[in-house]
């Protein structure tokens, strides 16, 4: 088991890996839904208006990388091609700082992992290169604006999902846009998934200053399913510092949240299992 939040250091190399998976249906997460059902926000129209168009964009973006083999090791994302991505600077007792990733789901809220807990946060919106922060929005989040899932189990990384309410709403533009979330009924196997983040790269103790991305697919893992997670295995996928970022699959929807890793398995908290809870927070907080 390893903890994927880390302090921000820099490196220029970009590495990760693609892996394969089948889908195993998870048990319902009724025990982790603490709010009654509410109407779902219409996120699907915010970023992508047509599923096939979103898939086509993904294919075109990755086409050159597939033939060079660069996608196997991960590569730099096209600047601002993932405008929902958020870097979180976490402030902890004693002046310590660490970093996680997150993703914007509305003008007011960011989703991340529950294990990215801190006393307060500084949120970077519209960021691609940490060394060039022109037009990047910086928003503070006090600790009382953090809403971790109440059933979060730190030892097992179960229910590893959290919402952060921004102290001032995000200014939406071409570099800052919310991502639609997978629906509660999206139970089939997500395919053509991508993970992105500023986390550590392979064989390096440093984080990348630039946003990286890599293709991942999922492997069948009964333990993951019992914890309401998708899993990918082998060398690749997210690295240290990528916690809280999105697993983006069909139609450009966020299907999972990068979580803690166990026994060489990368875990992603299943968003469909938590839609009622997420929608409740978005509406009432």
**pLDDT of res. 266:** 85
**Structural domain boundaries enclosing 107:** 1-285
Average pLDDT value for residue range 220-237: 79
Under 8 Å between Cβ of 161 and 29 = no
Query: Model confidence over 28-40: pLDDT tens digits?
Result: 444 444 453 333 4
Q: Which residues are annotated as catalytic?
A: 115, 160, 243
- Number of structural domains, the chain? 1
Tens-digit pLDDT profile for residues 210-227 = 999 988 878 878 888 888
Name the burial class of residue 68, with classes exposed (0-12), middle (13-18) and buried (19+) by CB atoms within 10 angstroms of its CB: exposed
Q: In terms of DSSP bridges, do strands 85-91 and 229-233 run parallel, antiparallel, or are they unpaired?
A: unpaired
**pTM of the complete model beyond 0.85:** no
- Over range 235-244, report the average pLDDT: 68
User: d(Cα 169, Cα 174) in Å, to the nearest integer?
Assistant: 16
| Tokens 């299907």 sit on residue | 255
- Separation of alpha carbons 280 and 37, rounded Å: 7
pLDDT at 12 (0 to 100)? 38
Mean predicted confidence (pLDDT) in 158-176: 97
CA–CA distance, 111 with 255 (Å, rounded to integer): 12
Q: Give 236 or 74, the one with higher predicted confidence.
A: 74
Residue with tokens 């992603």: 268
The model's confidence at residue 228, banded by pLDDT at 50, 70 and 90, is very high
Give pLDDT, residue 90.
Answer: 96
Distance from chain centroid for Cα 218: 15
Instruction: Give the chain's mean pLDDT.
Output: 77
Return the CATH number at 143.
Answer: 2.40.10.10
pLDDT exceeds 60 at position 49: no
Beta carbons within 10 angstroms of residue 144's beta carbon = 8
């Amino acid at each position: 088991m390893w903890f994927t939040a880390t302090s921000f250091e820099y490196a220029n190399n970009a590495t990760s890996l693609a892996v394969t998976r089948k889908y195993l249906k998870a048990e319902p997460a009724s025990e982790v839904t603490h709010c009654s059902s509410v109407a779902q926000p219409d996120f699907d129209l915010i970023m992508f208006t047509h599923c096939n168009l979103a898939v086509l964009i993904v294919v075109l973006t990755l086409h050159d990388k597939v033939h060079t083999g660069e996608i196997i090791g991960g590569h730099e994302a096209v600047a601002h091609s993932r405008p929902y991505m958020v870097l979180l600077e976490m402030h902890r007792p004693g002046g310590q700082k660490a970093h996680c990733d997150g993703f914007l789901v509305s003008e007011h809220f960011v989703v991340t992992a529950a294990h990215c807990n801190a006393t307060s946060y500084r949120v970077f919106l519209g960021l691609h290169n940490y060394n060039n922060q022109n037009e990047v929005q910086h928003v503070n989040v006090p600790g009382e604006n953090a809403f971790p899932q109440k059933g979060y189990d730190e030892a097992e990384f179960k229910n590893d999902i959290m919402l952060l309410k921004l102290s001032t709403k995000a200014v939406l533009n071409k570099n800052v846009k919310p991502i639609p979330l997978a629906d509660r009924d999206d139970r089939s196997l997500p395919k053509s998934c991508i993970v992105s983040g500023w986390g550590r790269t392979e064989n390096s103790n440093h984080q990348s200053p630039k946003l990286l991305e890599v293709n991942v697919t999922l492997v069948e893992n009964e333990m993951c399913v019992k914890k309401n997670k998708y899993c990918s295995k082998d060398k690749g996928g997210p690295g240290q510092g990528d916690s809280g970022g999105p697993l983006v699959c069909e139609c450009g929807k966020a299907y999972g949240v990068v979580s803690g890793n166990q026994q060489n398995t990368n875990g992603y908290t299943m968003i469909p299992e938590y839609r009622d809870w997420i929608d409740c927070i978005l509406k009432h907080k």
